[in-house]
Amino acid sequence: MEAPSARPADVYIHGTVPEEQARLSMLNDLLNGPSLDALGLMGGERILDVGSGLGQFTRQMARAAGPSGYVLGIERDAAQREQATQLAADAAEADLVTFRAGDATALPLTPDEQGTFDVVHTRFLLEHVIDPLAVVRQMVHAARPGGRIVLADDDHEVLRVWPEPPGLYDLWRAYYRVYDRLGNDPQVGRRLVSLLHEAGADPRRNTWIFFGSCSGEPRFRQFVENLIGVIDSARAAILAHAFFDETYFDETVASFRAWSQRPDAAIWYALSWAEGVKRAT
């Protein structure tokens, strides 16, 4: 008989089907510029990206770090790694980044690599793990003394949409309640500085990567479709928990799409972003 595992497995609620990978790519298009600005890379850094997904931002960091830099992406899911490798090859950037299989709660680093990274970064991962502190501790361990640990994640409550589309906030709440049913924290974004502190790093910066849009702005459709995409990726779980019934779910999504055609539609969101520094021992 198999021994019971010490801790429940983390579940990635969005899944890795091609539609979801396309949505993640769209989100990368929206966010990577401001995320890179926040990071302020100087060039030449050794960077570890934890939960690197499709690797678009991992490669963006590698481009900023330049030829004297080194970037390693750790990703648990084989389908994500395969697609990341393919996207890198398609962009003629196969040599830019190393993607390695592994779990964020037990980073697969050699003794030579541990404690050597200038920047240890993660984005949109802590909301998907049951024990984010365990991940941040691993990240602090991987950083060199004086190195930076950068956490970027969601606090789902910050969504604002106006004029209010019928049922949208209830549906959004139903979506992020699925996270806590899985044992994850949909508001982990507000805990980033605490997590850095608890993991033994000295918090140095705390900010938001803001993104807002309105009808008439070219990327407004991307915002709306990304929002619908994340909700839709959790459709089965939302229905299984009976937070919404099928008809109400579909009607609410349809009314949100119709709302997005309004000339006065406006939307705001912000990604929590915090940085800590590893103490010199």
Ligand X SMILES: C[S@@+](CC[C@H](N)C(=O)[O-])C[C@H]1O[C@@H](n2cnc3c(N)ncnc32)[C@H](O)[C@@H]1O
Residue ranges binding ligand X (CB under 6 A): 10, 12, 24, 28, 51-53, 57, 74-77, 80, 103-105, 123-125, 128-129
Cβ nearer to ligand X, comparing 154 with 259: 154
**How far apart are alpha carbons 96 and 72 in whole angstroms?**
9
How deeply is 200 buried, as exposed, middle or buried, from its count of CB atoms within 10 A (0-12, 13-18, 19+)?
A: middle
CA–chain centroid gap for 127, Å, is 8
Smallest separation, CB 90 to ligand X (Å): 17
Picking from 252, 261, 208, the residue whose alpha carbon sits closest to that of residue 231 is: 252
- Give the number of other Cβ atoms within 10 Å of residue 39's Cβ: 20
Closest residue (Cβ) to ligand X?
A: 53
Smallest separation, CB 228 to ligand X (Å): 16
Smallest separation, CB 118 to ligand X (Å): 18
Question: Which ranges of 77-206 does DSSP label H, i.e. alpha helix?
Answer: 78-90, 132-142, 168-181, 192-198
Smallest separation, CB 125 to ligand X (Å): 5
Cβ nearer to ligand X, comparing 61 with 174: 61
Smallest separation, CB 202 to ligand X (Å): 24
**How far apart are alpha carbons 250 and 247 in whole angstroms?**
5
Cβ nearer to ligand X, comparing 182 with 265: 182
Smallest separation, CB 124 to ligand X (Å): 4
Cβ nearer to ligand X, comparing 13 with 238: 13
Cβ nearer to ligand X, comparing 79 with 266: 79
| Contact status, residue 205 vs residue 274, Cβ threshold 8 Å | yes
Cβ nearer to ligand X, comparing 31 with 265: 31
Q: If phi over 0 gives left and psi between -120 and 50 gives alpha, with beta otherwise, what is residue 124?
A: left
Where does 172-248 show beta strands of DSSP type E? Answer: 201-214
Smallest separation, CB 241 to ligand X (Å): 20
| Contact status, residue 110 vs residue 85, Cβ threshold 8 Å | no
Cβ nearer to ligand X, comparing 85 with 105: 105
Between strands 117-123 and 143-153, the pairing is: parallel
